[in-house]
Copies of this chain bind each other. A is one copy, B any other.
Amino acid sequence: MPNIKDIAKAANTSKSTVSRYLNGYTVKPATAKAIAKAIEELGYHPNANAKGLVLNKTNIIGIVLDNITNNFYAGMLAGIESITRKFNYSCVYYSCLSSQKKENEFLNLIYEGRVDGLILGTFSVRNIEDVKELRELKDSVVIIGDNADNKDITSIDIDNEEGIAEMVCYLYSLGHRRIAYLSGPKDINAAIAREKGYIQGLMKCGILYDPNLVIKSDWTFEGGYDAVKKVLGKIDFTAIVGSNDYSAYGALRSIQDAGLNVPGDVSVTGFDDIDIAAFSQPPMTTIRQPFFDVGRRAAMELLDKIDNKAQCYSRIILKPTMIERESCRAII
């Protein structure tokens, strides 16, 4: 593989001049032409490691996701790259799931000079040990997800609480009074926030909180299915607020399998607006998270830290949107 010296020789000039040409500084037109020709003919590609070594800069940001093949993240990635593209950065992705590594193991990428910064996009809870490591790198890291406890690390999150609360109030406005809640995993911050939102919503509407109406589940289809199957007919409700779409669909199928109708007998709502939500039978009323914006903002904050050495902390919370479809009906 030819290097910059080979190009210089071929173009009858020096490596400094070639370097200047490559980096957009002025070079005499004739020299420029010769260099361009040499590059073309020899098939020259600048070595990224050498460049990274001397500049201590890669123009790459890494994005760590628990499972990169989760369609859930598509909008977020598009949002991130819409910004990085503009500022001439590249994105590389790392998957905790398939690599069997945890999020923090990727922090080394910064120390090693492989990336200029990292977006930690797993939405996961962070323990004290993890946060200690993070804090050391707070000028090159942005967190997506709940970070309320660590005021000095920039984070972007969605207002999960508000989303669910709004959904509860919506069902209230349709006349529902016995509104059940299908809970999520208790070790995920977003799930905790959503459950808070349920209680918040009830309070807003003046409904008394009944712990029996909280149906314990996880965020899977099967989990939702089984959980609802267990309580159907035993506890009385006219609506179920799901804490995500998958489990809401499990609930829906459970209800249908019991010979009941959605929304005729029970109204069901979800959270996430997954791609099939618009096409299911019935189409699901759910909450759409502003993923594109989450990604955009995360990238903006990160590049700002990297390029402008912005040292200031920010915590950005974006509001989700309710999408009204046909899985709920008014009670007269």
Contacts and interface: CB of A to CB of B under 8 A. Distances in A.
B68 A93 contact: yes
Interface in A62-94: 62, 67-74, 77-78, 80-81, 85, 90-94
B49 A53 contact: yes
Given A72-B69, A81-B98, A112-B48, A221 B276 contact: yes
Nearest to A221: B279
A178 interface: no
Contacts of A58: 49
A175 to B, nearest CB: 29
A94 B1 CA distance: 24
Contacts of A253: 279, 281
Contacts of A53: 47, 49-50, 53
Interface string A243-285: 0000000000100100000000000000000001001010000
Contacts of A222: 279
Nearest to A111: B45
A262 B47 CA distance: 59
Copies of this subunit: 2
B113 A100 contact: no
Contacts of A93: 68, 92-95
Interface string A222-259: 10010000000000000000000000000001001000
Given A53-B53, A71-B71, A47 B99 contact: no
B98 A78 contact: yes
Contacts of A68: 68-69, 77, 93
A45 B112 contact: yes
A1 B62 CA distance: 20
A261 to B, nearest CB: 14
Contacts of A225: 279
A256 B282 CA distance: 13
Given A68-B68, A281-B253, A91 B99 contact: yes
A281 B225 CA distance: 13
Contacts of A276: 221, 276
A96 to B, nearest CB: 11
Contacts of A67: 74
A50 B97 CA distance: 29
Contact of A99 (B81, B97, B112, B221): B81
15 contacts: A45-B112, A49-B49, A49-B114, A53-B53, A69-B69, A69-B74, A69-B77, A74-B98, A77-B95, A78-B98, A81-B95, A81-B98, A81-B100, A93-B95, A221-B276
Interface of A: 1, 45-53, 58, 62, 67-74, 77-78, 80-81, 85, 90-95, 97-100, 108, 111-114, 221-222, 225, 253, 256, 276, 279, 281
